[in-house]
């Protein structure tokens, strides 16, 4: 385990944890331990970048030149308290002469009407849309087998092949030139680091030097070298190249196991020493402090049906547990072959401290991946990216596009598609309220509004993403993917087999509950007219408290095993998936439906008016495939039953269910049996991802009143953990509501 004195300094490598820190801008800070004499500061680097003659160069070459300059002139981190090197200026400085400039240029090439529409739907909360470069997983297998030098040699081979075949177009030549320049710059960075390391006298310096020399001249040969390569690739890609690396290894235990095994068998290191290196490695991401967490996954299934979990899997969990951290976040591939020892360890970590774990059920996820054209073999070895998104290993680049707010579609039925906040028509005209005589009329109007938002999202995405590679060439990533080299194309410009888009179904349960409230109280019981309900919503439920309480007490809520709610929820989930899945995009790939919401439940909620389910304007919306907060009143078994009726594998990119449990449910050996039964039921029912919060409402209320006593209290948010004290009161209140509900 990392030495306490070393941990103090590693935790300050990227920023001072005692000072104000914004985890959404985690790379905009500087830490300690950098050699000032080794390079320039931010201002000097920016001056140098702006002086580079890049204007007439192809974008892959221009970007590579900018990155080359940064790697050549960066201050370097070499410190007696750390086994891992580092770079000083991490805030993507090259963007000032590349990305930002080219993104602005791309706007002039796009449809101006769709650019305006994109701005409008973001502003009113109908959708969140931005161009996504944040779900990248390189082919780690290539990096481990070839190293940085081998990546260059392989690219040279394919460049020569294209030249010989007469297929080396100007675009392809620029693509290969960018690879040559950028990876050569990485080698030169290693030269600089080696020269500096050789001058150091501290204890770790010799081991660091040997490690860097091996990586400079070939692939990694030891466990520590493999860790260093992963870290170097990550920090250069995310912070210099501007592509966020969303998995460490193709299964961290699978990628590292050959090195782990060789080191132990040769006697080079003991397991304790390997755990020591691993603790320093994991602390890098804890110190960086990305709000969404840095993901990696463990486990999987071999082609013969056996589990991929191994001795290293256990060591990773033990070290992570001992560090008492929640970042990185860990995804566990779960199947019927998963060793009980892994399940027990994970259960214990969740039960004790809400550890940052999500359980990813292979059968449902494999089916989802095959749903967009992957073979069984490709699906069996799927990568997990970001929170819990699927992807074909080494041959898929999927960017997340529109976060569609289903609750806004409900709102637009009441306004005939007119957005009162923007004072313009965003939705379609589905008729004045008086014309919606039957519930069938209302429901159909909602579906048309929802469908329109999906179509808007697809139109905006197709228009914007024609320029993905133009704005941000993915040179560093593409060089690891052999199919991109064979085609001579950027991975984000059609160079991979699956160049896809994911579209998110957000605020799903809020929409379901609202539809059912309209059915029950307007059309079935006729307690008020649709026009009167519209006025109630306009008044934000003021003066209608009794009606609001009655609606909230209705049994027809998603997540309770209610037949009516489940029927509509299943139909609505299928409707969205059908409108999204396998629709062709502009990159030669397809769209994939997603049922999770990231932070949309907060951002959309702030921009969405009062809803028929009793929710007030501005309050958070439902998230993921989970019920509205506090509305799941029939227990966890009923909740899982409702979720499985949505056919999770229809969501080809991801589907996640949040479960909250009372600690008493999970106590002792019986607690493990209860939890294991829930997980097994979800897995066998075709579920994809599932995650747990284990709380007493009394604990949360005390934590809200006395935050100083709960500095390390973790909460599972969407696809990541955060600290309770870092959440707003409104977010905390939603967790307290659910915790009170399960205690009844």
Cis ω before 175 (30° cut-off from 0): no
Q: What is the CB neighbour count within 10 angstroms for residue 692?
A: 25
Query: Residue 743: pLDDT above 80?
Result: no
Give the pLDDT band (50/70/90) at residue 734. confident
What does the buried/exposed string (b/e) look like for 378-413 if buried means 16 or more CB atoms within 10 Å of the residue's CB?
bbbbbbbbbbbbbbbbbbbbbbbbbbbbbbbbbbbb
Task: State mean pLDDT over 575-587.
Answer: 97
Contact 445, 428 (CB under 8 A): no
DSSP H/E element including 418: strand 418-419
List the Cα angle 333/334/338 in 5-degree steps. Answer: 115
Q: Please measure the distance between the N-terminal and C-terminal CA atoms of the chain and give it in whole angstroms.
A: 42
Tell me what percent of the chain is helix, strand and coil, each rounded to the nearest 5: 55, 10, 35
Identify the pLDDT of residue 730: 86
pTM above 0.75, yes or no: yes
* pLDDT greater at residue 359 or residue 718: 359
Which residues lie across from 690 on neighbouring strands?
A: 359, 657
- pLDDT band of residue 381 (cuts 50, 70, 90) is very high
- Report the residue count for the chain: 744
Maximum distance among all alpha carbons in the chain?
83
pLDDT mean over 656-678: 93
Rounded CA gap, 692 and 35, in Å?
43
CA distances from 524 to 414, 528, 615 (A): 18, 10, 21
Decide which of 729 and 613 is more confident.
613
> What 3-state DSSP class applies to 694?
strand
Is the distance from CB of 589 to CB of 497 less than 8 angstroms?
A: no
- Mean pLDDT of the 25-40 span: 94
Query: How far is the C-alpha of 630 from the C-alpha of 415, rounded, in Å?
Result: 28
3-state SS assignment for residue 389: strand
Q: Is there a contact between 341 and 314 (Cβ–Cβ < 8 Å)?
A: yes
Mean pLDDT of the 386-404 span: 94
Pairing of strands 498-506, 591-595: parallel
Average pLDDT over residues 334-355: 96
Instruction: Say if CB 128 and CB 402 are below 8 A apart.
Output: yes
In this prediction, residues 204-233 reach a mean pLDDT of: 98
| DSSP code per residue over 87-132 | ES--S-GGGGTTHHHHHHHHHHHS-HHHHHHHHHHHHHTSEE----
The residues near 333 (Cβ < 8 Å, ≥ 6 apart) are: 251, 297, 298, 299, 300, 301, 308, 360, 362, 384
Residues 6+ apart with CB under 8 A from 6: 81, 82, 280
| 288: helix, strand or coil | helix
d(CA 596, CA 404): 10
| Helical (H) or strand (E) element with 457 | helix 439-464
From the number of C-beta atoms within 10 Å of its C-beta (0-12, 13-18, 19+), residue 324 rates as exposed
Give mean pLDDT, residues 411-425. 96
Question: Does position 711 have pLDDT exceeding 90, yes or no?
Answer: no
């Amino acid at each position: 385990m990392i030495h306490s004195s070393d941990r103090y300094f590693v935790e300050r490598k990227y920023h001072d944890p005692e000072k104000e820190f914004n985890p959404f801008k985690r790379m905009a800070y500087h830490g300690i331990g950098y050699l000032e004499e080794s390079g320039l500061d931010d201002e000097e680097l920016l001056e140098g970048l702006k002086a580079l003659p890049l204007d007439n160069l192809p974008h892959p070459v221009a970007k590579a030149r900018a990155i080359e300059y940064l790697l050549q002139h960066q201050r370097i981190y070499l410190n007696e308290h750390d086994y891992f090197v580092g770079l000083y200026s991490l805030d993507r400085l090259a963007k000032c002469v590349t990305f930002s400039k080219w993104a602005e240029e791309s706007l002039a090439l796009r449809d101006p009407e769709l650019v305006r529409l994109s701005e409008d739907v973001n502003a009113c909360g109908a959708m969140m849309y931005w161009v996504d470069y944040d779900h990248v997983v390189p082919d780690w297998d290539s990096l481990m087998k070839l190293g940085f030098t081998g990546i260059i040699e392989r690219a040279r081979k394919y460049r020569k092949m294209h030249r010989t075949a007469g297929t080396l177009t100007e675009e392809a030549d620029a693509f290969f030139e960018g690879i040559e320049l950028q990876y050569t710059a990485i080698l030169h960075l290693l030269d600089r680091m080696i020269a500096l390391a050789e001058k150091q006298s501290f204890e770790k310096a010799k081991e660091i030097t040997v490690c860097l020399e091996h990586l400079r001249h070939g692939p990694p040969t030891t466990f520590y070298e493999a860790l260093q390569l992963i870290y170097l690739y990550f920090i250069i890609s995310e912070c210099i190249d501007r592509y966020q690396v969303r998995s460490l290894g193709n299964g961290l235990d699978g990628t590292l196991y050959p090195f782990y095994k060789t080191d132990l068998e040769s006697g080079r290191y003991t397991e304790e020493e390997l755990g020591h290196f691993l603790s320093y490695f994991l602390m890098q991401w804890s110190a960086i402090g990305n709000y969404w967490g840095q993901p990696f996954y463990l486990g999987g299934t071999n082609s013969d049906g056996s589990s991929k979990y191994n001795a290293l899997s256990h060591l990773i969990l033990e070290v992570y547990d001992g560090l008492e951290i929640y970042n990185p976040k860990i995804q566990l591939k779960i199947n019927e072959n998963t060793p009980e020892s892994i399940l027990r360890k994970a259960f214990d970590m969740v039960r004790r401290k809400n550890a940052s774990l999500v359980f990813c059920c292979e059968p449902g996820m494999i089916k989802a991946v095959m749903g967009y054209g992957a073979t069984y073999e490709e699906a069996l070895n799927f990568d997990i990216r970001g929170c819990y998104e699927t992807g074909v290993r080494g041959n898929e680049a999927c960017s997340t596009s529109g976060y569609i707010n289903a609750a806004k579609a409900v709102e637009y039925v009441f306004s005939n598609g007119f957005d009162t906040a923007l004072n313009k028509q965003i939705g379609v005209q589905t008729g004045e309220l008086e014309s919606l005589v039957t519930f069938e009329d209302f429901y159909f109007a909602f579906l048309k509004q929802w469908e329109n938002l999906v179509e808007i999202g697809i139109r905006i995405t197709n228009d914007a993403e024609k320029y993905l590679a133009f704005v941000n060439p993915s040179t560093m990533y593409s060089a690891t993917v052999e199919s991109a080299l064979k085609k001579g194309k950027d991975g984000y410009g059609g160079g991979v087999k699956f160049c896809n888009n994911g579209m998110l179904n957000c605020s799903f349960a809020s929409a379901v509950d609202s539809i059912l409230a309209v059915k029950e109280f307007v059309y079935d019981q006729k307690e008020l007219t649709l026009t009167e309900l519209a006025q109630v919503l306009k008044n934000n439920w003021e003066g209608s408290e009794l009606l609001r309480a009655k609606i909230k007490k209705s049994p027809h809520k998603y997540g309770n095993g209610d037949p009516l709610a489940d029927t509509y929820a299943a139909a609505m989930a299928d409707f969205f998936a059908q409108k999204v899945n396998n629709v062709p995009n502009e990159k030669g790939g397809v769209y994939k439906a997603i049922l999770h919401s990231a932070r949309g439940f907060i951002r959309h909620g702030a921009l969405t008016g009062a809803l028929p389910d009793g929710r007030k304007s501005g309050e958070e919306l439902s998230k993921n495939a989970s019920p509205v907060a506090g509305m799941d009143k029939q227990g966890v078994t009923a909740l899982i039953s409702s979720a499985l009726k949505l056919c999770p594998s229809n969501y080809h990119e991801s589907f996640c269910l949040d479960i909250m449990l009372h600690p008493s449910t999970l106590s002792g050996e019986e607690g493990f049996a209860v939890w294991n039964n829930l997980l097994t039921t979800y897995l066998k029912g075709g579920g994809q991802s599932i995650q747990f919060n284990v709380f007493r409402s009394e604990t949360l209320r005390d934590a809200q009143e006395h935050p100083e006593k709960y500095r390390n209290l973790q909460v599972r948010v969407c696809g990541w953990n955060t600290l309770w004290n870092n959440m707003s009161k409104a977010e905390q209140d939603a967790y307290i509501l659910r915790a009170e509900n399960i205690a009844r």
